[in-house]
């Protein structure tokens, strides 16, 4: 191993997936690099792969094993996939957290919710001011996205400058917050950029991205023409959109009521940080109940069909005294994130049954993306002129495509999925290590490892059902006749009316009557025999192979 100082990049999450961003940078002698962590986000579970799980955080074992090398944490912006892990993982890290004011406001709330000290979060100034962190100097370079105060990071090391874009789009009229500043970015790029570590989400979108400002002019006539109640849902963190919606509502003579916890938290944080200055007055749901529906606009959470969010609740019936009906309008000022299609459709169908007119963004009128499209990525490459482009924030296919875009522009594009440690200090980026990465599940209040078998067992029970057998063995190694079978998640009755549990008990009784003393004395052998017997009956009767739990109780003479 060379003794030369390395400049390493190591994604622990976010590279090879969209979600739970966590990127490590390091500088120093091999294996002794001083480290910083950029972002600490979460991902959301689904029934297919993570039933029952509450949220997913990156497995940061590598980081905790190298904690003495970690200088600080930098959070680019306030989306859950970037800041959401702070509350859950801070206790394992305990290093200063740097972010801009709005993100800091959100991060502090998260720490407080978990009983942690919010003072560990430091409000950072913006580039060209820089923060010292070991061998690094880090600057927060403002960039447009779909939440206030998003930032790229300018990361200076003795081996050169890295720009880590965070999530971004090129928006020169973002409605809320600073427009994308070509001048500021040119200034950041001027000393030369060794590597651009760059958002890849929309690399497959071929047209130039559109500005947030394009939405408002379409919202106004829509709200104006609505007759009944007007409800709009969007991403709660898209404060600019909330403002455009509220202004359109106010212009149409409607009172604005925000519904849903995230909606209130975001606007509260934005107000506290002085970001929401032009936002119309809002009323509470209680006040809204007294206002004629044609004079009311609800802005609600749940654009992704989340079962407990306001949209879903309203689609199912009364919610905080509100009830939708024929003649009302419901706008999805959002796109459906892949994987949420069925949940969103369920809400739309519920609304349809209520007679509510649903308006979506099918024609691109009522939503714009927060991420840079392919031409915008090319623009970014050209603006910053990096030697190396490291695509991040994307599934493997996004990273690969983005690397191709970089190559086509005459730069070095490198695909480095989670766990790939690359050294950016040499002439060419070089893979120097592979690190175990993965997902940790927050399940209730417990952290569960991806490979602990907990979720695997849940999935198996869901697919196959669960049969429980209780068997007793007396102190002479005789199996008692009272073997009990209980089934869950399998049909109780088979062949018309016979009880599946009874058939299993009968089969086991016959089987166990023939068991010799040695087997009866051997838990493992006895369990194996019973599992096999249960599965045989299940296969014969219902064509399934259930999960089986066997409880063997050995009675001892007292």
Site residues, its own copies (CB under 8 A): 16, 46-48, 51-52, 204, 206, 338-339, 341-342, 345, 348-349, 351-353, 358, 362-363, 395-397, 399-400, 443-446, 448, 452, 454-455, 457-459, 461-466, 468, 470, 472, 480, 482, 484, 486, 488-492, 494, 538, 541-544, 547, 549, 551, 553-555
Q: In this complex, which beta carbon is closest to its own copies, that of residue 265 or of residue 460?
A: 460
Q: In this complex, which beta carbon is closest to its own copies, that of residue 228 or of residue 249?
A: 228
Quote the DSSP letter at residue 479.
Answer: B
* Strand (E) or helix (H) holding 31: none
Backbone angles phi, psi at 103, to 5 degrees: -65, -40
Q: Residues 391, 413: contact at Cβ < 8 Å?
A: yes
Smallest distance, Å, CB 382 to its own copies?
24
Nearest to 302 by CA among 284, 288, 316: 316
Smallest distance, Å, CB 204 to its own copies?
7
Q: In this complex, which beta carbon is closest to its own copies, that of residue 26 or of residue 85?
A: 85
Distance separating alpha carbons of residues 511 and 254, to the nearest angstrom = 74
Q: In this complex, which beta carbon is closest to its own copies, that of residue 363 or of residue 524?
A: 363
H helices present in 432-499, as ranges = 454-464
Q: In this complex, which beta carbon is closest to its own copies, that of residue 67 or of residue 551?
A: 551
What b/e sequence results for 23-39 when a residue is b if at least 16 CB atoms lie within 10 Å of its CB, and e otherwise?
bbbbbbebeebbbbbbb
Smallest distance, Å, CB 200 to its own copies?
12
The shares of helix, strand and coil residues in the chain, as percent rounded to the nearest 5, are: 35, 25, 40
Q: In this complex, which beta carbon is closest to its own copies, that of residue 491 or of residue 528?
A: 491
Sign of CA dihedral 497, 501, 504, 506: negative
Q: In this complex, which beta carbon is closest to its own copies, that of residue 18 or of residue 213?
A: 18
Nearest to 182 by CA among 374, 369, 376: 376
Q: Residues 205, 394: contact at Cβ < 8 Å?
A: no
Residue 548 token pair? 């089986």
Smallest distance, Å, CB 252 to its own copies?
24
Query: To the nearest 10°, the Cα dihedral for 479, 484, 487, 492?
Result: 120
Smallest distance, Å, CB 248 to its own copies?
24
Smallest distance, Å, CB 3 to its own copies?
33
Using DSSP's 3-state secondary structure scheme, residue 393 falls into coil
Q: In this complex, which beta carbon is closest to its own copies, that of residue 46 or of residue 65?
A: 46
Q: Residues 412, 406: contact at Cβ < 8 Å?
A: yes
Smallest distance, Å, CB 483 to its own copies?
9
H helices present in 75-115, as ranges = 80-83, 86-93, 101-113
Cβ-proximal residues to 249 (8 Å cutoff; 6+ apart), any chain: 223, 230, 255, 256, 280, 297, 299
Smallest distance, Å, CB 237 to its own copies?
23
Q: In this complex, which beta carbon is closest to its own copies, that of residue 283 or of residue 472?
A: 472
Smallest distance, Å, CB 127 to its own copies?
34
Distance separating alpha carbons of residues 136 and 121, to the nearest angstrom = 19
Smallest distance, Å, CB 442 to its own copies?
9
Smallest distance, Å, CB 346 to its own copies?
9
Cβ-proximal residues to 467 (8 Å cutoff; 6+ apart), any chain: 485, 486, 487, 488, 490, 504, 534, 538, 546, 547, 548, 549
Q: In this complex, which beta carbon is closest to its own copies, that of residue 53 or of residue 299?
A: 53
Residue 31 token pair? 């294996």
Backbone angles phi, psi at 217, to 5 degrees: -60, -25
Q: In this complex, which beta carbon is closest to its own copies, that of residue 397 or of residue 434?
A: 397
Q: What angle do CA 307, 312, 317 make, to 5 degrees?
A: 125
């Amino acid at each position: 191993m060379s003794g030369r100082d390395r400049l390493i990049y190591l994604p622990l999450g976010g590279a090879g997936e969209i979600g739970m961003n966590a990127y490590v940078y390091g500088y120093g002698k091999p294996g002794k690099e001083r480290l910083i962590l950029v972002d600490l986000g979460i991902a959301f579970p689904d029934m297919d792969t993570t039933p029952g799980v509450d949220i997913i955080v990156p497995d940061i074992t590598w980081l905790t094993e190298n904690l003495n090398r970690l200088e600080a944490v930098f959070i680019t912006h306030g989306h859950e996939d970037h800041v959401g892990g702070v509350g859950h993982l801070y206790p394992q890290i305990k290093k200063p957290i740097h972010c801009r004011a709005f993100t800091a406001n959100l991060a502090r709330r998260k720490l407080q919710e978990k009983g942690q000290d919010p003072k560990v979060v430091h409000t950072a100034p913006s580039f060209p001011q820089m923060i010292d962190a070991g061998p690094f100097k880090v600057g927060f370079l403002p960039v447009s996205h779909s939440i206030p105060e998003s930032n790229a990071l300018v990361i200076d090391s003795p081996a050169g400058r890295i720009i880590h874009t965070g999530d971004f789009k090129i928006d020169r009229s973002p409605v809320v917050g600073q427009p994308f500043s070509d001048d500021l970015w040119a200034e950041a790029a001027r000393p030369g950029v060794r590597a651009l570590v760059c958002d890849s989400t929309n690399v497959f979108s071929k047209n130039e991205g559109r500005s947030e400002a394009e939405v408002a002019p379409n919202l106004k006539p829509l709200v104006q023409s609505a007759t009944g109640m007007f409800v709009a849902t969007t991403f709660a963190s898209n404060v600019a959109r909330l403002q455009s919606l509220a202004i359109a509502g106010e212009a149409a003579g409607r009172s604005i009521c925000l519904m849903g916890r995230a909606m209130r938290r975001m606007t509260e944080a934005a107000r506290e940080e002085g970001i929401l200055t032009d936002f119309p007055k809002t009323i509470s749901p209680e006040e809204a109940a007294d206002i004629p529906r044609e004079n009311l606009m609800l802005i609600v959470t749940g654009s992704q069909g989340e079962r407990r969010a306001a949209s879903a609740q309203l689609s199912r019936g009364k919610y905080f005294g509100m009830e939708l009906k024929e003649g009302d309008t419901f706008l999805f000022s959002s796109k459906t994130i892949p994987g949420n299609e069925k949940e969103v459709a369920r809400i739309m169908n519920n609304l349809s049954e209520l007679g509510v007119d649903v308006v979506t963004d099918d024609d691109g009128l009522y939503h714009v993306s927060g991420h840079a499209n392919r031409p915008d990525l090319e623009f970014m490459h050209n603006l910053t002129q990096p030697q190396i482009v490291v695509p991040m924030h994307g599934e493997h296919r996004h990273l690969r495509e983005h690397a191709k875009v970089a190559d086509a522009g005459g730069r070095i594009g490198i695909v480095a999925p989670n766990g790939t440690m690359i050294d950016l200090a040499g002439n060419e980026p070089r893979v120097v290590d592979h690190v175990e990465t993965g997902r940790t599940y927050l399940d209730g209040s417990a952290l569960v490892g991806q490979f602990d078998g907990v979720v695997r067992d849940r999935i198996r029970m869901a697919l196959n059902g669960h049969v429980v057998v209780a068997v007793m063995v007396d102190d002479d190694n005789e199996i008692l006749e009272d073997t009990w079978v209980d089934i869950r998640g399998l049909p109780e009755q088979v062949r018309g009316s016979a009880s599946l549990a009874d058939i299993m008990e009968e089969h086991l009784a016959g089987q166990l009557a023939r068991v010799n003393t040695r087997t009866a004395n051997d838990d493992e052998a006895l369990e194996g025999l019973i599992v096999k017997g249960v599965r045989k009956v299940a296969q014969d009767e219902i064509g399934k192979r259930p999960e089986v739990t066997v409880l063997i109780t050995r009675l001892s003479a007292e």
